[in-house]
Structure 1
Amino acid sequence: MRNPLKEKPNWLVVRDRALTPAGARMREWRDWVVENDPLYAAARRPGPPEKIAATVTLLLIAGIVLFLLLFDWNLLRGPIGRWASAEYDREIELNGDLDVNLFSWTPSARVRGLRIGGPDWARDQDTLTVEDLRASIRLRALLAGHVEMPLVAVTRPRAVLIATDDGRQSWRLDPDARDTGEGLKLPPINRLLIEEGQISLDEQGRNIRLEATINAREGSDEQGGFHLDGEGTINGTPLTVLVRGGPFINIRRDRPYAFHGEIAGVGARLVADGSITRPFDLGRFDATLRMQGRDLADIYLLTGITTPNTPPYRLAGKLTRDGAKFSFADFTGRVGSSDLSGDIVVDKVGDRRRVDAELRSRLLDIDDLMAVLGAEPRVTSAGNTVASSGAPGRLLPDAPLDVRRLRVMDGTLRYRAAQVKRNDLDVRQVDIGADLKSGVLALDPVAFTFNRGELRGTAKINATRDTPYSAIDFRLRGYPLESIIPARGGVPTVTGQALGRARLEGSGASVHDFAAGSKGTVSLVVPQGRMRAAFAELMGVHVLAGLFKLDDASTAEIRCAVADFTVSGGTATAKTFVIDTTPVVA
């Protein structure tokens, strides 16, 4: 009679490695009990009930083993698919053969033809299809309470990942689960093989379209190891992604896995070389990150992190991820013609991203800072930055503020420049603090230290409206008048120290629009100083006398000067304008 068990590929292994040794151990135990244990007389001389119970137990165990060996697992494809579809509210099907091997220290399963459909709002696109999937699990580790997989082999997987403007993600099987931002964490896989994989990404919020191929092969040649290559568009401009890693062979949880990654798009290029500290826990890694581009504000489209406009930049530092927390520490580089270094921490607090930054410059080009306010920077061949307002005939920058980017995150910033390159305003140091919360940006302090004097104040930008509403309060102390009014013939026209205050508020998406529509007050006081006599005459009623004194270097004392303006609709109207000098009439 034909034995159907012999047709099973693993029968001989099960018989020789499991059943035969188990039977031998049972006989040894029985013989020991018979010879040594007086308490088990019934076992030494079992009666009919004991014999019947033992026989039934052995037959039951043998029946279960035979059932599992002969069972056609394909009968469970339908029930498994229906249960999974109901559980995750999407179509899940096992269309091909299902093979299961339970009688091993590494039980395994194989599925030919797996399909996971999309959620209700993306039914026309399957989230994942797999032609062939093989996986095994280590039984001893499972009995100890944790999962360890000796092998996962995937043939021709295709994943379609869709993210909408309102935050829905097609790959999330449980849409109600809170996104902690801690990254994907998989169980340890000793061998991972991926053949001819494809990934399609459609992220509508940042207008990203990407098609990528993914392979993980054994071998030490160029084709071996992990390869991900993607091309697409981001905001209508080209986007490329590249990731490289070693073969997934003998991977251990306590042995870091090295990788190399590159992303290029929207005028920026990011290159990372690092390692996943605990393999398959993608929420933990260390890397050296190098980044360069034309404007740091473009990084938002790649990372979702809001940064101000800047001149071209080149930065490098240590990037670390610990769950939802990213740290870009001890980075150095240049932004425009200024050096920049510091530390940046990105975390997730509740449902909002938070960015805290400590930045510093040893030597700042003031025109690089003007780019933050919306001026158009241009780096000259000599390495200096020249900033313009961006529109002919306009003194103030007119680049609009993107209020949507201020609403997506919270954070703090502290920036200090120890020295400033020689400039027309004679600025020597800069100190800026910022706090962004729920779409409201508070700047405190905004301080510029001059060779003589200081400008210090606060500003608040409310970006919760479509057109931001801003308010500023600045005080000027001890600024030399000779830096405002040009000298004549090498001799200062006016000397003295100016004190002032400007309190303005209004709506406007740019510095120019804010100034053009602002309201408030501006005042200026000169407690004492000196003025060329000719200039004093020209400002008074003796214009003709002033013209005759243009070459006269004599001066008059300024006993007091006060100017007080009200501002409405961007127009300043003098309420008080008084200059008290000593007599200068000949």
Structure 2
Amino acid sequence: MTTTTPDTQRVRHPILKILGGIALALLLLILFWSWDWFVPLVNSKATALLHRKTTIAHLHVHLGRVTTIKVDDLRIEQPKTFEKEKDQFAQAKSVTVSVDVWSYLWHRTLHLPLIALEQPTADIIALKNSLNNYTFTEDGKPAKTPTKQDASSSTSLPDIGELRITDGNLHVKYDPLQADMQVAVQTTPPQGNDRGTLHLQAKGRYAQQPITARFIGGALLSFVADKEPYPVDLTVQNGPTTATLKGDVVHPMSFAGAHLKLHFAGPDMSLLYPLTGVPIPRTPAYSIIGNLDYSQNHILFKDFEGKMGTSDIGGTIELDPHQKPMNVQADLHSRQVNLVDLGGFIGAKPTKTAAEKKQDAKNKTVLPDTPINIPRLNAINAHVTYHGAHIENKQLPLDNIDTEFFITNGAIDLKRLNFAVGHGTLASSATLKPDGSLFDTNARIDFARIDLARVMQATTNSKARGIIGGHMTLKAKGNSIASLMAAGNGGLTLVLDQGGDITAILPNIMGLQLGNAILTALGLPSHTDIKCFIADMPLKNGIVSTNTLLLETGEARTLGRGTINFKTNTLDYSLTTRAQNPTIASLPGAFNITGAIKSPTVLPGAEILGRAAAAAGLGFVFPPLALLPTIQLGVGDDSRCARAVQAVNDNPAAGIAPGSLSHAVGTKSSVAPASKPHATSNPKKTSGKASAPKPHEGRMTPAEVRAAWDAKLKKQGKN
């Protein structure tokens, strides 16, 4: 039996007192404990971390296996560089975070079952000088670019179960894109395996245009962490442009790809530049739909189809936005295309107003003087191919279009711009290098076996016929077709073979009044057939002169000389017609065409000065044999023009051989006709008609034609 002595009682009494005191203290601490005691510490740590004053009003902690931490009245002020802004950088009525403590203690994984933001707001600002208020660095200093070692050593994101946002609102002001909008943010709670959805509603201005947007996607955390495809449903109305994007994104954070259907429509594709970053010339109204995919390096808009004006358009466009400037590869096609719809790609407006048409009529320039306006060439490097299988345009006789061009560091290299015209081809190439507001231009156009009947029926409903061949070169600096020609060097060599009825051609080409006046001055019989027309006219410093101008019919030969001045838009030209057949009555002599190109005057000319002067106009304009390659490649090696050139050189109607002095036989300064290898000694066969050429006489093999053609173009290029 143990007995308690008074000493033992004295020993236990202090222990009981101590234990009782501790118990009482714990009870009092539990009864009066406030987590708000830690608010100053939280404010201090958050301010240091975010580099801007951060405060909370209250702190609540509910301990347990899953511990919940809640702060009330969170306020984050603007950094010092934005302290004049009237709104806080961010604030929220409350922020709640739940932490799975058991998971962290036993598995060392940070699992946050819930992050909830109640009535959060934020004021996001970026200025044009790259300064922004959402980079959390020391005031005024840019964010440090992380090294690969930093990236590899950074901690992974925690496992977050739900991000809940109630009545959120963002104000976004992004000056580089001229954007200023309000964005309402709301989430829906998870249901079963569905982690919920994210809803955004935006309204404001973007690229100086009003914008509204609606986005419904998977939960924000699904975008960051889930391996399942992330659903996307976006509708944007930016000014008159509408875009929708629907589908899903595969592993968004690893750029694994997407299955998205993109549809956009509007009155002008050039308005897409702020949305896409890709400069596009002006176009008519359009509606395009296709598949959008992406990887770490490329954005791919593939297999798209749609309408642009009255044309259909389709193909694939690939972008690499990481290169500076952006790299664009486009492979485009149309089944049926109206060239009017492509006018913006060469600086023209898709449609002209009545006032603009009236202004064009008053303009004294005969060529378009609208500045070439290819926008923002330095914004991209591009390689574009385009093929239009069938051209629909009542005003143009073209059948299809095939083109390829490069844009590199602001320069355009047009590899080809080819049109089919029946069995013929209109082929062109050019380079345009920007020089301030001008383009340093080098261009070439080749005409091969183009059917005049197709051209005239499409433009004037005329029954004219014939085959056109030749080429044109231009080297100049300017910003419009008119300014390029006014400063240009190059020339035009054009051949019309078997041209048909002259009365069906001239009035339609030159205008009814001028064409009829020239027909009268020529004195040719009504409905005379053009056997051959040749023009070889060099261009130097904006002035066209004449090497050769020959119009040959069955009855007469017309030769021309003079200049066309594209600097002053005036011409000074004279034509002389002489009968080839002695049975035909004498035709009028020379006449002059002078004045403004748009409205010239036709007057008698050299006939007043006498027949000798008129004959003098025939000596230096005979078509040289050097034109045979152009003729044979342009209209065919067995053409009337090829034979006419040979005949004119062998037996000139004026009795003066090429190379002789240009004076008629019998005048004071005349020189006897030079003998020619093909001329016959029989005077009956040289009385005025051309000798009939023997088989293959004067003709060249295809290899000779190509060699002569290349030599001629090379010589022109040097000049």
- The SS at the match of 2:231 is strand
Please state how far the C-alpha of 1:334 moved relative to its aligned partner.
0.9
CA distance in 1, matches of 2:105, 2:275: 40
Once the two structures are superposed, what CA deviation does each residue of 1:251-293 show, in whole Å capped at 9, x if it has no partner? 9612333231111012100011122433777996432111111
CA distance in 2, matches of 1:179, 1:514: 53
Query: Does residue 234 in structure 1 map to residue 206 in structure 2?
Result: yes
Q: Which residue of 2 aligns with 1:124?
A: 84
- One-letter amino acid of the structure 2 residue matched with residue 241 of structure 1: A
CA distance in 2, matches of 1:451, 1:348: 42
Please state how far the C-alpha of 1:546 moved relative to its aligned partner.
3.9
Match of 2:443 among 468, 473, 477: 473
Q: Which residue of 1 aligns with 2:605?
A: none
Q: Is contact 1:457–1:472 with CA below 8 Å preserved after alignment? A: no
Going from structure 1 to structure 2, the CA distance change for 1:544 and 1:192 (only over 3 Å counts) comes to closer
CA distance in 2, matches of 1:436, 1:315: 24
Q: Which residue of 2 aligns with 1:158?
A: 121
Structure 1 segment 459-470 matched on structure 2, within 5 A: 459-463=430-434, 465=436, 467-470=437-440
Q: Is contact 1:339–1:363 with CA below 8 Å preserved after alignment? A: yes
Going from structure 1 to structure 2, the CA distance change for 1:363 and 1:305 (only over 3 Å counts) comes to same
Once the two structures are superposed, what CA deviation does each residue of 1:52-77 show, in whole Å capped at 9, x if it has no partner? xxxxxxxxxxxxxxxxx999543532
- The SS at the match of 2:413 is strand
Structure 1 segment 513-552 matched on structure 2, within 5 A: 514-515=483-484, 518-526=487-495, 528-530=497-499, 532=501, 546-547=522-523, 549-550=525-526, 552=527
CA distance in 1, matches of 2:146, 2:236: 24
CA distance in 2, matches of 1:232, 1:373: 34
Q: Is contact 1:440–1:461 with CA below 8 Å preserved after alignment? A: yes
Structure 1 segment 351-366 matched on structure 2, within 5 A: 351-366=324-339
Greater strand content: 1
- The SS at the match of 2:228 is coil
Please state how far the C-alpha of 1:167 moved relative to its aligned partner.
4.4
Q: Is contact 1:94–1:112 with CA below 8 Å preserved after alignment? A: no
Q: Which residue of 2 aligns with 1:214?
A: 185
Please state how far the C-alpha of 1:78 moved relative to its aligned partner.
4.2
Q: Which residue of 1 aligns with 2:55?
A: 94
Q: Which residue of 1 aligns with 2:360?
A: 392
Once the two structures are superposed, what CA deviation does each residue of 1:163-195 show, in whole Å capped at 9, x if it has no partner? 333444443446445699xxxx97664211111
Going from structure 1 to structure 2, the CA distance change for 1:335 and 1:5 (only over 3 Å counts) comes to farther
CA distance in 1, matches of 2:296, 2:105: 25
CA distance in 2, matches of 1:274, 1:390: 49
Q: Is contact 1:73–1:99 with CA below 8 Å preserved after alignment? A: no
Going from structure 1 to structure 2, the CA distance change for 1:169 and 1:282 (only over 3 Å counts) comes to farther
Unmatched segments (≥5 aa) in structure 2: 1-22, 148-155, 507-513, 557-578, 585-719
Q: Which residue of 2 aligns with 1:383?
A: none
Q: Which residue of 2 aligns with 1:557?
A: 531
Q: Which residue of 2 aligns with 1:263?
A: 236
CA distance in 2, matches of 1:470, 1:146: 65
Q: Which residue of 2 aligns with 1:449?
A: 420
- The SS at the match of 1:370 is helix
Q: Which residue of 1 aligns with 2:688?
A: none
- The SS at the match of 1:375 is coil
Q: For structure 1, which segment, 116-125 or 142-151, has the greater mean C-alpha deviation from structure 2 after superposition?
A: 142-151
Structure 1 segment 391-410 matched on structure 2, within 5 A: 392-393=360-361, 396=368, 398=370, 401=373, 403=375, 405-410=376-381
Match of 1:2 among 24, 44, 66: 24
CA distance in 2, matches of 1:142, 1:475: 79
Match of 2:274 among 301, 312, 316: 301
Q: Is contact 1:506–1:517 with CA below 8 Å preserved after alignment? A: no
Q: Is contact 2:453–2:463 with CA below 8 Å preserved after alignment? A: no
Q: Which residue of 2 aligns with 1:49?
A: none
Going from structure 1 to structure 2, the CA distance change for 1:168 and 1:471 (only over 3 Å counts) comes to farther
CA distance in 2, matches of 1:444, 1:580: 34
Please state how far the C-alpha of 1:505 moved relative to its aligned partner.
2.8
Could you say which structure has the larger radius of gyration? Answer: 2
CA distance in 1, matches of 2:166, 2:179: 25
Q: Is contact 2:68–2:99 with CA below 8 Å preserved after alignment? A: yes
Going from structure 1 to structure 2, the CA distance change for 1:6 and 1:370 (only over 3 Å counts) comes to farther
Going from structure 1 to structure 2, the CA distance change for 1:390 and 1:285 (only over 3 Å counts) comes to farther
Please state how far the C-alpha of 1:418 moved relative to its aligned partner.
1.8
Going from structure 1 to structure 2, the CA distance change for 1:279 and 1:373 (only over 3 Å counts) comes to closer
- The SS at the match of 1:2 is helix
- The SS at the match of 2:547 is strand
- One-letter amino acid of the structure 2 residue matched with residue 359 of structure 1: L
Q: For structure 1, which segment, 312-321 or 476-485, has the greater mean C-alpha deviation from structure 2 after superposition?
A: 476-485
- One-letter amino acid of the structure 1 residue matched with residue 57 of structure 2: G
Match of 2:95 among 106, 122, 133: 133
CA distance in 2, matches of 1:352, 1:288: 27
CA distance in 1, matches of 2:358, 2:369: 6
CA distance in 2, matches of 1:452, 1:145: 78
Q: Which residue of 2 aligns with 1:243?
A: 215
Once the two structures are superposed, what CA deviation does each residue of 1:517-560 show, in whole Å capped at 9, x if it has no partner? 54232312328544546789x99x9965744612x3x42432x6
- The SS at the match of 2:24 is coil
Please state how far the C-alpha of 1:429 moved relative to its aligned partner.
1.8
Unmatched segments (≥5 aa) in structure 1: 12-68, 380-385
- The SS at the match of 1:342 is strand
Q: For structure 1, which segment, 281-290 or 411-420, has the greater mean C-alpha deviation from structure 2 after superposition?
A: 281-290
CA distance in 1, matches of 2:126, 2:222: 35
TM (normalized to structure 2)?
Answer: 0.59
Structure 1 segment 30-429 matched on structure 2, within 5 A: 73-85=38-50, 90-98=51-59, 104=65, 109-118=69-78, 121-125=81-85, 126-136=88-98, 149-173=112-136, 175-176=142-143, 189-218=160-189, 225-245=197-217, 253-278=226-251, 285-323=258-296, 325-377=298-350, 392-393=360-361, 396=368, 398=370, 401=373, 403=375, 405-429=376-400
Once the two structures are superposed, what CA deviation does each residue of 1:63-118 show, in whole Å capped at 9, x if it has no partner? xxxxxx99954353244234324xxxx414233345578975x6665443444455
- The SS at the match of 1:77 is helix
Once the two structures are superposed, what CA deviation does each residue of 1:403-454 show, in whole Å capped at 9, x if it has no partner? 4x32233332221112222543321221222322333333322222222332
Going from structure 1 to structure 2, the CA distance change for 1:227 and 1:142 (only over 3 Å counts) comes to farther
Q: For structure 1, which segment, 280-289 or 358-367, has the greater mean C-alpha deviation from structure 2 after superposition?
A: 280-289
Q: How many residues align?
A: 497
Once the two structures are superposed, what CA deviation does each residue of 1:5-26 show, in whole Å capped at 9, x if it has no partner? 89779x9xxxxxxxxxxxxxxx
Q: Is contact 1:283–1:324 with CA below 8 Å preserved after alignment? A: no
Going from structure 1 to structure 2, the CA distance change for 1:121 and 1:454 (only over 3 Å counts) comes to farther
Q: Which residue of 1 aligns with 2:467?
A: 496
Q: Is contact 2:530–2:551 with CA below 8 Å preserved after alignment? A: no
- The SS at the match of 2:123 is strand
Q: Is contact 1:186–1:280 with CA below 8 Å preserved after alignment? A: no
Please state how far the C-alpha of 1:576 moved relative to its aligned partner.
2.7
Once the two structures are superposed, what CA deviation does each residue of 1:206-228 show, in whole Å capped at 9, x if it has no partner? 322211211113278xxx84221
- The SS at the match of 1:218 is coil
CA distance in 1, matches of 2:24, 2:190: 43
Please state how far the C-alpha of 1:311 moved relative to its aligned partner.
0.9
Q: Which residue of 1 aligns with 2:642?
A: none
TM (normalized to structure 1)?
Answer: 0.71
Greater helix content: 2
- The SS at the match of 1:392 is helix
Q: Is contact 2:476–2:485 with CA below 8 Å preserved after alignment? A: no
- One-letter amino acid of the structure 1 residue matched with residue 164 of structure 2: L
